[in-house]
Amino acid sequence: MKTTTDLQRRKLLKYTAIGIAGALAYPSWAEMGGLAKVNAASTDFLPDVEIELNMKPAEVAILNGEKTRVWKIIGKVISGPSGVLDNNDGTYLAPTLSFKKGQKVRLILNNNLPAQSILHWHGLHVPANMDGNPMYAINQGETYIYEFEILNRAGTYFYHSHAHGVTARQVYSGLAGLLIVSDDQEQALNLPSGDFDVPLVLQDRSFDGQNQLVYSAHMMQRMQGFLGDRILVNGRPDFVLPVATRAYRFRLVNGSNSRIYKLAWDDGTPITVIGVDGGLLAAPEHHPYVMLAPGERVDAWMDFSGRALGTELTLRSLPFDAAGHGGMGMMGGMGGGMMGGGGHRGMMGGGMGGMMSVSTLPSGSDYPIAKIRVAKKEQGEHSLPKTLTPITALQVKNAANADKPKTIALSMEHMSALLNGRSYKMDDVQPDEMIPVNSLQLIEFDNGFGGGMHSMMNMPHPMHMHGEQFQIVKREMSSRSSENYDTVAAGFINSGWKDTVLVMPGEKVTVLKPFNDFKGLFMYHCHNLEHEDLGMMRDFLIK
């Protein structure tokens, strides 16, 4: 597969940049403001918003006592309306960017980190060279300029590092933040806003005795995905939110490397879902609990009116069984050998989920996430709308490949996680990965549904595709795993626009995805970041 001319140019520029910047020691080069640009701002792009984003090492107070060394992004508004940027000072969270549909944004990314990096706008429909493909990674002392129009509908999006092979580590260090898009349709609904529109970024971290982040990427953690032993919300441990007796909009974002949450209110109140990855649903849905895998978002409505002052409520992750039955026998043997222990089964009895976990907070266990305290009386004038925003259902018959779905088989082998048996390689698009621009495609993610693709272990895979949002057509479950499936099935939101979908062991999920407007390379990958780094990632070439 031949490279794009863009990439050629990029490589050329990169070598030039190393020549200049490499001679100078960090951080003096960066602080002099002399960052080397790898691409130029275009003169015919007139931005409504222009923001500079500086990535650099920093120290923040997360736990009591010593500060924690993180990688922080600090933004500066060069031009644009107020309220577009919140740096989330004092936390490792990257700035929250708030844009409006139709705005033209220029984001100037400066890399002052002692590593290569690049940012990807997760869920946004932007040109290929603005999408943060790992081939655009910039070195320390370099600048990458993004210019794009916000084409997406209102919703909760986010952004994060996408540097090849180190995405998991970099996101863990702090390179991830929220990107909120609003539009007129959403505004007209008069949903809770301002202080009553609260993003909750869910992440897990482990700390050592000196309050420093611990990240281990041994074989076991990479195959399973890294699991921290503490839950942080918006970068803070033991998160407590005081609320008033009125309605709230909570934007829940799973920014964890690999942890899957089964979200529920501890008093049994159903979760009222008003939005997912790609914005508001057509109408609210009530679920006893909601599954939220890495990369997924859910907007929940919660009304505290009528609750007594002082009432406490906890958002929890409930127990579930993440493993397919097929994986257990094999893991028994592997656990014995690798952990020196003799294959104890984890609390949930699942193969990968519990048994192999080296975290004190295994995947699928039962734990609190955030505490809510009703602290203020207030007259709430918001009531839950019966309908939200209209969504046109995509039709299978309109897919370019309506009777020949593109199958993506998910599998794991020793030390690798594969898509159709392939591992990630830059510039390696195969014929079945080429897609005509402006076509609608029927795509199925097969996680051992028919037992077809041989896989050594059965794990859930949150599958993500760059570019435009997709719709879920159907979920099919092989009967042999249905027992485990019952512990999660009621928590899937299958309506609305999605960019990430959790595919359970033994499951096949079929989606319809438009590939409009932009040609070039767009990634598809597992959003378990350790799996992604292990190679469970490929490019589609839209042409």
Q: Which stretches of the chain bind ligand C2O, using CB under 6 A?
A: 120, 122, 160, 162, 295, 464, 466, 523, 525, 527
Residue from 100, 101, 106, 122 that binds Cu ion (CB under 5 A)?
Answer: 122
Residue 528: which of ligand C2O, Cu ion, none does it interact with, CB under 5 to 8 A by kind?
Answer: Cu ion
First and final CA of the chain: distance in angstroms? 13
Which residue bears the tokens 């996408």? 162
DSSP 166-206: THHHHHHHT-EEEEEEE-HHHHHTT---GGGEEEEEEEEE-
Residue from 56, 461, 498, 538 that binds Cu ion (CB under 5 A)?
Answer: 461
In the bound state with Cu ion, the residue whose beta carbon lies nearer, of 136 and 301, is: 136
Q: Which stretch binds Cu ion (CB under 5 A): 118-126, 355-363, 382-390, 433-441?
A: 118-126
In the bound state with Cu ion, the residue whose beta carbon lies nearer, of 99 and 248, is: 99
In the bound state with ligand C2O, the residue whose beta carbon lies nearer, of 150 and 465, is: 465
Compute how many residues bind Cu ion; rule: CB under 5 A: 6
Residue 526: which of ligand C2O, Cu ion, none does it interact with, CB under 5 to 8 A by kind?
Answer: Cu ion
> Parallel, antiparallel, or unpaired for β 155-161 and 104-111?
unpaired
How many C-beta atoms surround the C-beta of residue 194 within 10 A?
6
Q: How far is the CB of 113 from ligand C2O (least distance, A)?
A: 19
Exposed e or buried b per residue across 288-315, where buried means at least 16 C-beta atoms within 10 angstroms of its C-beta = ebbbbbbbbbbbbbbbbbebeeeeebeb
Q: Which stretch binds Cu ion (CB under 5 A): 14-22, 165-173, 358-366, 531-539?
A: 531-539
Q: How far is the CB of 507 from Cu ion (least distance, A)?
A: 13
Maximum Cα–Cα distance across the chain = 65
Percent of residues in the chain assigned helix, strand, coil, to nearest 5:
15, 40, 45
Residue 162: which of ligand C2O, Cu ion, none does it interact with, CB under 5 to 8 A by kind?
Answer: ligand C2O
Q: How far is the CB of 533 from Cu ion (least distance, A)?
A: 11
The one-letter amino acid at 519: K
In the bound state with Cu ion, the residue whose beta carbon lies nearer, of 264 and 459, is: 459
In the bound state with ligand C2O, the residue whose beta carbon lies nearer, of 201 and 523, is: 523
Please list, in sequence order, all residues whose beta carbon lies within 8 angstroms of the beta carbon of residue 33, skipping any fewer than 6 positions away. Answer: none
Residue 228: which of Cu ion, ligand C2O, none does it interact with, CB under 5 to 8 A by kind?
Answer: none
Residue 14: which of Cu ion, ligand C2O, none does it interact with, CB under 5 to 8 A by kind?
Answer: none
Asked if omega into 27 is within 30° of 0 (cis), the reply is: yes
Residue 153: which of ligand C2O, Cu ion, none does it interact with, CB under 5 to 8 A by kind?
Answer: none
Residue 461: which of Cu ion, ligand C2O, none does it interact with, CB under 5 to 8 A by kind?
Answer: Cu ion
Q: Which residue is nearest to ligand C2O (CB)?
A: 122
Question: Any idea what the Cα angle at residue 530 is, between residues 524 and 532, rounded to 5°?
Answer: 15
In the bound state with ligand C2O, the residue whose beta carbon lies nearer, of 108 and 523, is: 523
How many C-beta atoms surround the C-beta of residue 337 within 10 A?
11
Please list, in sequence order, all residues whose beta carbon lies within 8 angstroms of the beta carbon of residue 38, skipping any fewer than 6 positions away. Answer: 10, 13, 14, 17, 136, 138, 142, 143, 144
By CB under 5 A, residue 419 contacts Cu ion: no
In the bound state with ligand C2O, the residue whose beta carbon lies nearer, of 131 and 186, is: 131
Token output for 176: 């991830």
Residue 508: which of Cu ion, ligand C2O, none does it interact with, CB under 5 to 8 A by kind?
Answer: none
In the bound state with Cu ion, the residue whose beta carbon lies nearer, of 251 and 466, is: 466
In the bound state with Cu ion, the residue whose beta carbon lies nearer, of 513 and 531, is: 531
Nearest Cα to 51, choosing from 39, 59, 41, 61? Answer: 41
Q: How far is the CB of 525 from ligand C2O (least distance, A)?
A: 6
DSSP 29-94: HHHTT-PEESS---TT---SEEEEEEEEEEEE--SSSS-EEEEEEEEEEEES-TTSEE--TTSSPP
Q: Where are the beta strands (DSSP E) in 341-467?
A: 367-376, 406-413, 416-419, 434-435, 439-446, 461-465
Token output for 504: 């359970």
Q: How far is the CB of 158 from ligand C2O (least distance, A)?
A: 7
Q: Helix or strand or coil: residue 285?
A: strand
Nearest Cα to 158, choosing from 127, 191, 203, 196? Answer: 203
In the bound state with ligand C2O, the residue whose beta carbon lies nearer, of 92 and 449, is: 92
Cα gap 11→421, rounded to integer Å: 29
By CB under 5 A, residue 538 contacts Cu ion: no
Residue 488: which of Cu ion, ligand C2O, none does it interact with, CB under 5 to 8 A by kind?
Answer: none
By CB under 5 A, residue 528 contacts Cu ion: yes
Q: How far is the CB of 2 from Cu ion (least distance, A)?
A: 25
In the bound state with ligand C2O, the residue whose beta carbon lies nearer, of 316 and 525, is: 525
Question: Which of positions 93-112 make contact with Cu ion (CB under 5 A)?
Answer: none
> Parallel, antiparallel, or unpaired for β 312-317 and 367-376?
antiparallel
Q: Which residues bind Cu ion (CB under 5 A)?
A: 122, 461, 466, 526, 528, 531
